[in-house]
Amino acid sequence: MTEPVHFLTKNFGRYDTSSIGSYMSIGGFEALRKAVNTDPKEITNLISSVKVRGRGGAEYELGRKWSQARAVVGERKVVICNADEGETTTFKDRELIEHDPFNLIEAMIIAGYVVGATDGYIYMRAEYACFRPLLLNAIRQAKNYGFLGTNILGKGFDFNIHLYSGAGAYVCGEGTALIRSIEGKAGRPRMKPPFIKVSGVFARPTCLNNVESLSIVPHLLMDTEGFYASCGQGDSIGTKMISVAGNVNHPGAFEIPFGMTVREIIYGLAGGVQRDRAIRLIQFGGASGKVADASILDTPYTYEDLRAAGVMVGSGALLVIDERTSVLDFLRMNQEFFSEESCGQCTPCREGNLHIKIILDKMAAGTATPTDIAIMAKIARVMSMSSLCGLGETAQNTLRSAMRVFPEVFEVGGPVA
């Protein structure tokens, strides 16, 4: 039986998540004490040495991001934790918030110290409202113990954390839309530049990170034995939180070493496909992720190997669909989601999602023509190149990959106009 690892999740179940004293009894806030006595450049060098990439889907190198944020000249810098986690079938950040909230608070304070920020914002999705009391309590206790506020640990470092909840918009997972939502505006993306590292929330220099990306840092600072660096394969160093959903016997969130195969994840950790049915497809990285067939099962779960196989790590989600669901029905369901969640601000995404939905419905009704299929492929390509934000750019990843992996699905009759 394939076993998960416990680096990022090693605190799960070891302390009372409502008590800072309980967290400190297992070594909590020792990483912060170490950080404030360390040159910030050493911390970014450590993160870069193990090649930590952003865990929200963009895969941007974390040490580089923090170095760039620190280099920006400006007052009252901000660190934002993106806890929106609106990507479908993705729920690994929820596990980190629920089972180790104080580690997230500690990580944000360390991030604030490294980049020179004075304020932190946690932007949490509306559906995670049940965790608001947990985080508010952690913030309050951290302030009472002197880990937040002014002159933290006597180092002349000031930092505070604020908790914001979204209203349930998928697009607010995108950085600029999230920032506008915090500012009290409609959660719609804006043009870049200026980039948020220069002008982000309230026009202040801003460093935005995913929950998992932040949560790694305290553990790394205390990893004197180099366990994290010993995990992984090739340039994909360390461990990764993943969430497995769909037609598997044991869906859930798991921490794995990079290099575990997709087969080991699905048939080992997730207990295999229900009633031993055949796999129709696997979607990687949520609704905006690409799909593969069962031929990918023996591919190692690394950034490089998955990309070579035509998919991506993305948000860390795997959705397993068995033979009971057709590829077309899955695509229509996926398209319903994006047609609903598009903010409608830019033409490629607004009109593109609508027309692709219409053509997929025509395929289901048996009335689509080869011209329709060609138009759909063209719209999907244009959306990926010209949409304003990541939602429009990636909304058709599933469709475009399905057209490559399952070409037979798109073979329809009828005259070409």
pLDDT tens digits, one per residue of 256-290: 999 999 999 999 999 999 999 999 999 999 999 99
* Residue ending a domain, choose from 322, 354, 370: 322
Of 322, 351, 368, which marks where a domain is finished? Answer: 322
Query: Which tokens belong to 63?
Result: 């040490």
Q: Are residues 204 and 156 in the same domain?
A: yes
pLDDT at 1: 44
Calculate mean pLDDT across residues 7-13. Answer: 97
Distance of CA 400 to the CA centre of its chain: 21
Same domain, 373 and 256: no
Check pLDDT > 80 for residue 171.
yes
Give the model's pLDDT for residue 24.
98
Residue 56: pLDDT band (50, 70, 90) is confident
Q: Is residue 4 domain-resident?
A: no
- At 13-31, the pLDDT tens digits run 999 999 999 999 999 999 9
Q: What is the mean pLDDT of residues 189-218?
A: 96
Together in a domain, 213 and 237: no
**Cα–Cα distance for residue pair 399/375, rounded to 1 Å:** 13
pLDDT at 115: 97
Residue 239 belongs to domain spanning:
232-322
Q: Is 84 exposed, middle or buried, given 0-12, 13-18 or 19+ CB atoms closer than 10 A?
A: buried
Q: What is the pLDDT of residue 412?
A: 81
The verdict on 211 and 256 lying in the same domain is no
CA–CA distance from 237 to each of 37, 49, 214, 228, 230 (Å)? 26, 10, 16, 7, 8
Q: Which of 289, 307, 322 is a domain's end point?
A: 322
If asked whether residues 244 and 96 sit together in one domain, one would say: no
What predicted TM-score, i.e. pTM, was given to this entire model?
0.95
32/125 same-domain check: yes
Per-residue pLDDT tens for 314-352?
999 999 999 999 999 999 999 999 999 999 999 999 999
For residue 54, pLDDT over 50 is answered with: yes
Residues 189 and 272 in one domain: no
Identify the band that residue 413 occupies on the pLDDT scale cut at 50, 70 and 90.
low
Residues 294 and 146 in one domain: no
* CATH number, domain containing residue 44: 3.40.50.11540
